[in-house]
Structure 1
Amino acid sequence: MPALRSLTPPEARVLATLMEKARTVPDSYPLTLNSLLSGCNQKTSRLPIMNLDETAAQEALSGLRQLSLVVESSGGRATRYEHNFQRGVGVPEQSAILLALLMLRGPQTAGELRLNAERWYRFADISSVEAFLDELAERSEEKGGPLVLQLPRAPGAREQRWAHLLCGPVDTTALADAAGAAGDADGSQAELRRRVAALEAELQSLQGVVQALCDQLGVKATDLPGST
């Protein structure tokens, strides 16, 4: 199977949204253009967040139809769209799910992928996720070449993340820097939470000491100067 051309970011978002909704809202699938746009522009479970309009979505759908990755049906009052990813790319169901999640949510660890796939497919364990990722990473050129890449471990991270290659080669340096910045931010927030917790504990301890002194002196804490 020849390699697909690289998808544009809007094409990847449209395709992955169709793949998601086929699993999570089968009663509403295939999708109308309005439903597809709502899914593409969700503010949750999307990275990056996009704001596609009808023109951009139609252009993406046109490009995906040319690649035989999307099928259009005209039954009913509105045109509807469905994906043809597994047959068009030549991958099993589990691999298609992992690729769709990577297109929707950006780079993720095997553990994150397993958790995020719960509504789509229940992987037995992380090892099974890793097995499908390894298969996608080692895909032969005769089958179209690799579809995922394991990224260098980010500073402070315990696990390596995976990224899809459907939109072409990824800038591993930029992704590592972004992950490091996110890790630094998370670390700063964690340190702030620890300091606040320590101050709260110290305040509670001081309040106990004050109350004990007030009990010994036979006064109420609210009677002390400065109390409200």
Structure 2
Amino acid sequence: MEDTAPVLNAAEARLLGCLIEKEATTPETYPLTVNAAQAAANQKTAREPVMTLDPGAVNHALRQLEQKGLAKQVFSSRAERYEHRTAAFFGIPRQQAVLLGLLMLRGAQTVHELLARSERLFKFNDADDVRHHLDRLIQRDAALVVQIPRGPGQREDRYAHLLSGPVDVAAITARAPSASAGESASPELEARIAALEADVATLRAQLDALLAARGN
């Protein structure tokens, strides 16, 4: 268990979030190859902000995560792969690792957004269950999450991760609600899109495996 959180840059935080997400949503292709990690990091949906990371940046970020103890490289007969070590590194349960992953993938979010978006990663009982685990992440000696008071026109407080260092709470509070707030009103649509992206990721991994086998 680590009391001090390493500071991650934007690419490292995105990749760690992707590893947490894909462990739950595409277990058949996890641990992830560099190609699969790149595809996950550059998804156009369920990501805020959208990023365009090239293979070199993805590979470097994964190696940095490994050096910081948050990821581990594993080898198969065809390609090197990476798995995350978030729960073990921080000494937290899976549901708290899932919440950190969602916050790294999509920025500051409300309890109800996290509840809707976590359905394919972990089945929380209800909003109070999500709030309880967020509170545990906040109350650690070295907090991993911060609560952001609601701003003008906002109905709920939001939460942000601290793995990339302190956040500007005042600036986030003052920020107008983004388009992601509207997305949370349609969790069914989000789930369908995420399922399609998971299928594409699986097909991509299978194609990579076939191409690697032909190369041998």
Q: Scaled by the length of structure 1, what TM-score is found?
A: 0.75
Aligned partner of residue 47 in structure 2, secondary structure: coil
Aligned twin of 1:116: 117
Matched, 1:161 2:158: yes
Aligned pair partner of 1:149 in 143, 146, 149 = 146
Aligned twin of 1:103: 104
Aligned twin of 1:91: 92
Q: 1:7 and 1:118 mapped to 2: Cα distance? A: 26
Matched letter for residue 20 of structure 1:
E
Calculate the aligned-residue CA RMSD, in Å.
Answer: 1.6
Structure 2, unaligned stretches of length 5 or more? 183-216
Aligned twin of 2:82: 81
Q: Percent identity?
A: 45
User: How much does 1:173 deviate?
Assistant: 2.1
Question: 1:154-211, CA deviations, whole angstroms, 9 ceiling, x for partnerless residues?
Answer: 1121111100101000011221232x2649xx8xxxxxxxxxxxxxxxxxxxxxxxxx
Structure number with larger C-alpha Rg: 1
Aligned twin of 1:170: 167
Question: 1:10-56, CA deviations, whole angstroms, 9 ceiling, x for partnerless residues?
Answer: 00001110110000000111111111100000000001111011111
Matched letter for residue 89 of structure 1:
F
Q: 1:5 and 1:15 mapped to 2: Cα distance? A: 12
Matched letter for residue 22 of structure 1:
E
Matched letter for residue 109 of structure 2:
Q
Aligned twin of 1:214: none
Matched letter for residue 68 of structure 1:
G
Q: 1:15 and 1:23 mapped to 2: Cα distance? A: 13
Q: Scaled by the length of structure 2, what TM-score is found?
A: 0.80
Q: 1:119 and 1:139 mapped to 2: Cα distance? A: 26
Q: 2:177 and 2:112 mapped to 1: Cα distance? A: 21
* Pairing 1:62-77 to 2, within 5 Å after superposition: 62-77=63-78
Q: 1:182 and 1:53 mapped to 2: Cα distance? A: 27
Q: How many correspondences in the alignment?
A: 180
Structure 1, unaligned stretches of length 5 or more? 187-228
Aligned partner of residue 53 in structure 2, secondary structure: coil
Q: Structure 1 stretches (4+) deviating beyond 3 angstroms?
A: none
User: How much does 1:4 deviate?
Assistant: 2.3
User: How much does 1:5 deviate?
Assistant: 2.2
Aligned twin of 1:43: 44
Contact (CA 8 Å) 2:3, 2:90: kept in 1 or not? no
Aligned partner of residue 159 in structure 1, secondary structure: coil
Residues 182 and 32 (structure 1), Cα distance of their counterparts in 2 relative to 1, 3 Å cut: closer
Q: 1:155 and 1:20 mapped to 2: Cα distance? A: 31
Question: 1:79-106, CA deviations, whole angstroms, 9 ceiling, x for partnerless residues?
Answer: 1111111101221111101010000011
Residues 27 and 170 (structure 1), Cα distance of their counterparts in 2 relative to 1, 3 Å cut: same
Q: 1:4 and 1:136 mapped to 2: Cα distance? A: 12
Aligned twin of 1:139: 140
Aligned twin of 2:20: 19
